[in-house]
Amino acid sequence: MKLIIDTDPGIDDAMAIAYAAAAPEIELIGLTTVFGNTHVHQSSRNARFLLDKLGLDLPVAEGAAVALGADTHSPSEHVHGPEGFGDLTDIPEIGRNHALPAAEFLVDMARTHKKKLVVCAVGPLTNIANAIRLDPEFAGNLGRLVIMGGAVYCPGNITNHAEANIYHDAIAAEEVFATPPDTVLVGLDVTLKTLYETADFESLAMRSPDMGSFLRDISRFYLKFYKDVGGLEGCGLHDSTAVIACSHGAMFDMVETGLRVVTEGDQKGATQPDPERPTVRVCRDVDGAGVVQLFTDRVASLP
């Protein structure tokens, strides 16, 4: 399976990219970057740093700096740290971005690879909405869109109603769900059932001295946020769970429903079932322990 991850790295994004690099059934063909956990230029810098650390020479196409209709963005520094990788700062600038902006790169790759391409969006959906606006055939060309986002049958995390990726660009998400490709939504309904704890990171660091230790080191900041704010003994494997859903759908219980996104007011970013909308598959449950084990075993195989 050919995969592009649309990402705002971000600590759990870094874990998902490492998983994709280690998964034998995934051919990662590139990354597209978006604002969210960081400013988009930092997302791109972090993506290129990570690919270099993984020994992968892949394109990074930079995308949206702000949400549709917005002028500015305030990164989630209190969650992912000042440069998106926890306490790590002064992340080196390695290589350069791809010549094409993210939306054009996504349209181009979908035209080239057609139904063989899966896009896994693990940040705000601005690049995906822009690709749909740019090419009416994009949605039909794409094999599948797997989204980390939403909280359909559970509370949100950035507000009680909304999950962060959807909240950060509710207009983009509403446009995507109005005319969705073949889509799977991997929301908080399942990603809070795949918590990754300190002991899991320590075990990973023992088995993967370079990448495992890096992920452990940058996740300390993230784990502290989850404990201090969420009262949780682990962090959500949000983005890795979405990447795993790209190839291991049988680990998830899914329901089919149309979705609508609230775009303003105190419920902004809420993802609500709507039978009038084209159906997407929404993950309602997951083999959480199985996902955590699969993630660990795959990433532990890295140097």
Query: Which residue numbers are catalytic?
Result: 8, 238
Q: What is the 3-state secondary structure (H, E, C) of 35-103?
A: CCCCCHHHHHHHHHHHHHHCCCCCCEEECCCCCCCCCCCCCCHHHHCCCCCCCCCCCCCCCCCCCCCHH
Residue at token pair 């009262």: 231
Is residue 36 near ligand RIB by the rule CB under 6 A?
A: yes
Alpha carbon distances (Å) from 71 to 68, 129, 193, 239, 248: 9, 17, 35, 26, 38
For the stretch 263-266, contacts whose Cβ atoms lie closer than 8 Å and that sit 24 or more positions apart, written own/partner, are: 263/170, 263/171, 263/174, 264/170, 266/159, 266/161
Q: Pick from 3, 4, 6, 10: which binds Ca ion (CB under 5 A)?
A: 10
Q: Pick from 62, 169, 189, 239: which binds ligand RIB (CB under 6 A)?
A: 239
Of 33 and 130, nearer to Ca ion (C-beta) is 33
Is residue 75 near ligand RIB by the rule CB under 6 A?
A: no
Smallest distance from ligand RIB to CB 91, Å:
16
* 286-292-293-297 Cα dihedral, nearest 10 degrees: 130
Q: Pick from 104, 163, 174, 189: which binds ligand RIB (CB under 6 A)?
A: 163
Is residue 123 near ligand RIB by the rule CB under 6 A?
A: yes
- Which of ligand RIB, Ca ion, none lies near 28, with the C-beta cut-off 5 to 8 A by kind? none
| Site pattern 81..120 for Ca ion (x: CB under 5 A) | ----------------------------------------
The Cα 168–Cα 67 span in angstroms is: 7
Q: Pick from 17, 109, 122, 261: which binds Ca ion (CB under 5 A)?
A: 122
Q: Are 61 and 105 in contact (CB under 8 A)?
A: yes
- Which of ligand RIB, Ca ion, none lies near 163, with the C-beta cut-off 5 to 8 A by kind? ligand RIB
| Site pattern 221..260 for Ca ion (x: CB under 5 A) | ------------------x---------------------
Which residues on neighbouring strands pair with residue 28, listed in sequence order? Answer: 3
Smallest distance from Ca ion to CB 263, Å:
21
Q: Which positions touch ligand RIB (CB under 6 A)? A: 8, 10, 12-13, 36-37, 122-123, 148, 157, 163-165, 238-239
